[in-house]
């Protein structure tokens, strides 16, 4: 490839990366905000859902998604579109982004995994497993894990400062190395294993009751569970693969063309990972008739229908998402 052709290709790739990182991400932020706000309203207004231990994890999942979208994702998108760095304009926003932005990014995965584990325990045949989860224990676990992760990410709020909201690479070198591996494990490997394992185990719990009278609740929970975790699992996979690739090739000397190509792939992986932030509400809305009715009722401030706990011949089938 000639130098002129290579420069044209680099410019083309940079334009694609900018479009993905700017306009596409901004559109997904708006879509995700609508979905997570609506989810929060429905779950807070529904009395039966509020009493479930799973509700705590899901509401915190929705809140973490909103925090991550606007503290971490929005500044990048706005910078790509306007070339204006909002982090450099405000030291408060700079600190907020690197503390709560990173915290909420990780907590979205944690709360989703906790919700998946909670569902498995609640649908178990064993009474001991079902008794392990309760509203108070869910609150305790939520507060404890949130504090632990908050403490882990405090150094970034200290390192990032100044007019341009930057951090010294020498001061942050050890912590940056830790974050790279922590991200690979806690944002990729562990969530994929937990989501894959416990969603399969939950499906087995529900399938074991196949001879019982099937209710609308049973069919909807089963379908919603499989579709939701499948979509999120698929969305997380490209990021997981790219993170491994980044770790393997970080010491390599790369050309400008290869760097531009990797930037496009990285932004494409980020777009795929947005299934975590925007997928839940739209999956619920498409699959569940009862959820659609409750969304309409919540937005119109009407009384919500019962969509969670129904009486069935099998007692351990009393859980919903």
DSSP for 56-101, written as a single string: HHHHHHHHHHHHHIIIIIHHHHHHHHH---HHHH-HHHHHHIIIII
pLDDT > 80? residue 186: yes
Confidence band for 167, pLDDT divided at 50, 70 and 90: confident
Q: What average pLDDT score do residues 76-99 get? A: 89
Backbone angles phi, psi at 167, to 5 degrees: -130, 145
Q: What is the pLDDT of residue 153?
A: 92
The least confident of 198-207, 208-217, 244-253, 292-301 is: 208-217
CA 31 → CA 38, 39, 104, 126, 205, distances in Å?
11, 12, 18, 40, 33
Q: What average pLDDT score do residues 289-301 get? A: 77
User: Are 175 and 159 contacting, i.e. CB atoms less than 8 angstroms apart?
Assistant: yes
CA 33 → CA 61, 84, 200, 273, 275, distances in Å?
13, 22, 29, 15, 13
Q: What is the pLDDT of residue 241?
A: 86
Q: What is the pLDDT of residue 313?
A: 36
Residue 92 lies in a domain: yes
**Rounded percentage of the chain residues whose pLDDT exceeds 90:** 26
Terminal CA-CA length for the chain:
54
CA 26 → CA 33, 74, 78, 261, distances in Å?
11, 7, 8, 22
The least confident of 159-163, 199-203, 215-219 is: 215-219
Scan for tokens 């351990």, then name that residue: 316
- Pick the more confident residue, 123 or 13: 13
In 10 A of CB 25, how many CB atoms? 23
pLDDT > 50? residue 181: yes
Q: What is the pLDDT of residue 315?
A: 40
Q: What average pLDDT score do residues 302-309 get? A: 52
Q: What is the pLDDT of residue 316?
A: 37
Q: What is the pLDDT of residue 50?
A: 75
* Rounded-to-integer distance, Cα 114 and Cα 116, Å: 5
Q: What average pLDDT score do residues 55-62 get? A: 90
Instruction: Write the DSSP symbol of residue 185.
Output: I
Instruction: Write the DSSP symbol of residue 305.
Output: P
Q: What is the pLDDT of residue 46?
A: 75
Q: What average pLDDT score do residues 58-67 get? A: 93
Q: What is the pLDDT of residue 294?
A: 77
Task: Tell me the CATH number at 289.
Answer: 1.20.1070.10
Residue 310 lies in a domain: no
Residue 40 lies in a domain: yes
Residue 248, both tokens: 């393997």
Q: How many domains does the chain fold into? A: 1
**What is the overall mean pLDDT for the chain?**
82
pLDDT > 90? residue 146: yes
Residue 50 lies in a domain: yes
Concatenating the DSSP letter of every residue in 30-65 gives: HHHHHHHHHHHHHHHH-HHHHTSHHHHHHHHHHHHH
Q: What average pLDDT score do residues 13-35 get? A: 93
- Pick the more confident residue, 217 or 157: 157
Cβ contacts of 105 within 8 Å, gap of 6 or more:
64, 68, 72, 187
Residues forming a β-bridge with 166:
161
CA 20 → CA 24, 25, 170, 231, 244, distances in Å?
5, 6, 31, 20, 22
- Pick the more confident residue, 17 or 202: 17
* Rounded-to-integer distance, Cα 110 and Cα 114, Å: 6
Tens of pLDDT along 120-141? 888 788 888 888 888 889 999 9
* Rounded-to-integer distance, Cα 265 and Cα 115, Å: 30
Say what the pTM is.
0.83
Residue 59 lies in a domain: yes
Q: What average pLDDT score do residues 247-252 get? A: 84
Q: What is the pLDDT of residue 288?
A: 77
User: Are 214 and 192 contacting, i.e. CB atoms less than 8 angstroms apart?
Assistant: no
Residue 124 lies in a domain: yes
Residue 52 lies in a domain: yes
Q: What average pLDDT score do residues 257-277 get? A: 88
Domain extent, residue 64, equals: 13-299
Residue 304 lies in a domain: no
Q: What is the pLDDT of residue 310?
A: 39
* Rounded-to-integer distance, Cα 122 and Cα 163, Å: 50
């Amino acid at each position: 490839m000639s130098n002129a052709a290579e420069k044209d290709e680099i410019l083309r790739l940079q334009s694609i990366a900018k479009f993905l990182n700017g306009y596409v991400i901004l559109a997904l932020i708006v879509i995700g905000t609508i979905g997570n706000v609506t989810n929060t309203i429905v779950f807070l207004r529904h009395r039966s859902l509020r009493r479930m231990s799973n509700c705590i994890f899901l509401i915190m999942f929705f809140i973490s998604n909103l925090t991550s979208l606007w503290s971490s994702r929005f500044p990048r998108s706005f910078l790509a579109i306007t070339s204006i760095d909002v982090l450099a304009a405000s030291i408060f926003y700079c600190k907020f982004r690197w503390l709560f932005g990173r915290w909420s990014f990780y907590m979205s995965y944690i709360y989703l995994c906790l919700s998946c584990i909670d569902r498995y325990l609640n649908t178990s045949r064993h009474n001991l497993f079902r008794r392990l989860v309760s509203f108070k224990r869910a609150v305790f676990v939520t507060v404890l894990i949130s504090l632990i992760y908050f403490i882990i990410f405090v150094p970034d709020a200290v390192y990032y400062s100044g007019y341009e909201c930057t951090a010294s690479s020498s001061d942050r070198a050890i912590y940056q190395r830790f974050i790279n591996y922590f991200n690979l494990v806690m944002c990729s490997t562990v969530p994929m294993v937990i989501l894959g394992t416990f969603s399969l185990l939950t499906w087995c719990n529900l399938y074991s009751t196949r001879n019982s009278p099937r209710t609308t609740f049973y069919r909807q929970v089963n379908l919603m569970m499989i579709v939701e975790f499948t979509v999120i699992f698929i969305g997380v996979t490209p990021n997981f693969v790219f993170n491994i690739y980044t770790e393997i090739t970080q010491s390599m000397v790369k050309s400008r063309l290869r760097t531009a190509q990797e930037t496009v792939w990285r932004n494409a992986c980020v777009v795929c990972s947005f299934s975590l932030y925007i997928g839940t509400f739209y999956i619920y809305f498409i699959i569940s008739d009862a959820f659609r009715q409750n969304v309409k009722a919540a937005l119109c401030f009407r009384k919500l229908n019962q969509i969670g706990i129904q009486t069935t011949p099998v007692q351990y089938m009393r859980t919903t998402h």
